[in-house]
Amino acid sequence: MNYTRSSALFSEAEHVIPGGVNSPVRAFKAVGGTPVFVKEAKGAYLIDEDGNSYIDYINSWGPMILGHAHKPVVDAVIEKTKLGTSFGTPTAIETEIARLAVSMVPNIDKIRFVNSGTEACMSAVRLARGYTKKDKIIKFAGCYHGHSDSFLIQAGSGAVTFGSPNSPGVTQGTAKDTLLAKYNDIANVKDIVEANAGEIACIILEPVAGNMGCVPPKEGFLEALRLLCDAHNILLIFDEVMTGFRLAKGGAQELFNVKADIVCFGKVIGGGLPVGAFAARAEIMNYLAPLGPVYQAGTLSGNPLAMAAGLAMLTELNDDAGIFKRLEEKTAYLHKGLSKVLNDNKIVHTINRTGSMISVHFSDAPVVDFDSAALGNNTFFKQFFHGLLDQGIYIAPSAFETWFISDALSYEDLDKTINAVNIVVKTFK
């Protein structure tokens, strides 16, 4: 493939944008080479500035669950735009999407919209601290909750890929209130809770981790966290920015039948526009300003274009009874095909999958937490990434990312992908 125009655009971008990108995961630093500049996308395909087309397994890092430029979403945004793009007043559509979200997700009464997943998680933790009147939080190594200070302690994918798990700029004072636990290790969490008795406001986690590859919770792990939180007056926060409206209508809470106290959303809920949200029972949400003492605000929060995109997206997911099963079946088909090809070529690997999230690890140890996710053969991964790119298959440029399956992917696209993997792994050195 020819990447001439992308390379030229990247050189220009580097002069005026740090690293040429507005989010570090978009750079190809971990795999080498220069990022592909995308000009447009439709359905399951991306088209870059050189005219190359790719089957897309990133889907804007999660939001595009129905594929790119999905007509009902695009039409909703165009129609809304004609009426003005921001008012800084309440609008009817905010209540409409809030009512729909609350009806789809178990165990929430109220929801507040923000502009990103980062804001959602940051605000959820502030709310948990305000509500419980305690300061410390527990997070898990390899889980990503956005880039706010409290979370930049072993933060998975982006931060790991770039070798700065503890970012400069995060003060010791902030870092000391974030306690780090091992994912899927309940004994470790119990030890931390006991050593900090009476001081922990919340435990936050990705109920299916998606920022160290796809790492599902072990049987009983979420249930045990729920019991631990109940016993110690700790709020359980599910960061469903990735899993919400993706694994099921009601996200991981529904899939695993475990209740969280606060749930964070982003990605799918915005239909591809910048949206995040956090939600809980009324007694917790009523702690927020203007009703309660915990402050949280946003000039563009609940923006009409963003709400229109999100509402169109959620409406479709709510009305399509078969969607989540269909996505899971496509992902299972891909899993089976990839396993066969990797086995036939004697490539050491582990594949993890939940719903429409899947990841390929070049290691044969079970991938259950950050340490085991870090064991993958990175030399193989780089060859895999660039080989697939050249075959017109776009996966994330980091071994710590999940692939996202969209409903726009056809079985023909999946077969093309499996064939491309067969060609690429034969070139591994």
Ligand X SMILES: *Cc1c(COP(=O)(O)O)cnc(C)c1O
List residues near ligand X by CB under 6 A. 116-118, 121, 144-146, 206, 210-211, 239, 241-242, 266, 276
Catalytic-role residue among 131, 144, 183, 394? 144
CB 245 to ligand X: min, Å: 13
CB 108 to ligand X: min, Å: 17
If 0-12 CB within 10 Å is exposed, 13-18 middle and 19+ buried, where does residue 218 land? Answer: middle
Q: Based on the residue annotation, tell me whether 267 is a catalytic residue of this protein.
A: yes
Catalytic-role residue among 177, 239, 261, 407? 239
CB 8 to ligand X: min, Å: 28
Catalytic-role residue among 136, 267, 407, 413? 267
Give the Cα separation of 247 and 253 in Å (integer).
10
Q: How many other CB atoms are there within 10 angstroms of residue 21's CB atom?
A: 16
CB 124 to ligand X: min, Å: 10
Q: Based on the residue annotation, tell me whether 411 is a catalytic residue of this protein.
A: no
Tell me whether residue 208 or residue 327 sits nearer to ligand X (CB atom): 208
Tell me whether residue 263 or residue 420 sits nearer to ligand X (CB atom): 263
Tell me whether residue 306 or residue 425 sits nearer to ligand X (CB atom): 306
Tokens of residue 342, six digits: 């990797």
Tell me which residue of 334, 331, 353 sits closest to 342, measured CA to CA.
334
Tell me whether residue 3 or residue 370 sits nearer to ligand X (CB atom): 370
Which residue is listed with tokens 């995308």?
38
Tell me whether residue 52 or residue 243 sits nearer to ligand X (CB atom): 243
- Find the residue with minimal CB distance to ligand X: 117
Q: How many other CB atoms are there within 10 angstroms of residue 345's CB atom?
A: 14
CB 148 to ligand X: min, Å: 9
Tokens of residue 195, six digits: 């050593």
Alpha-carbon torsion angle 146, 334, 374, 392, nearest 10: -80
Give the Cα separation of 282 and 263 in Å (integer).
13
Q: Based on the residue annotation, tell me whether 134 is a catalytic residue of this protein.
A: no
If 0-12 CB within 10 Å is exposed, 13-18 middle and 19+ buried, where does residue 132 land? Answer: middle
Catalytic residue annotation? 144, 239, 267
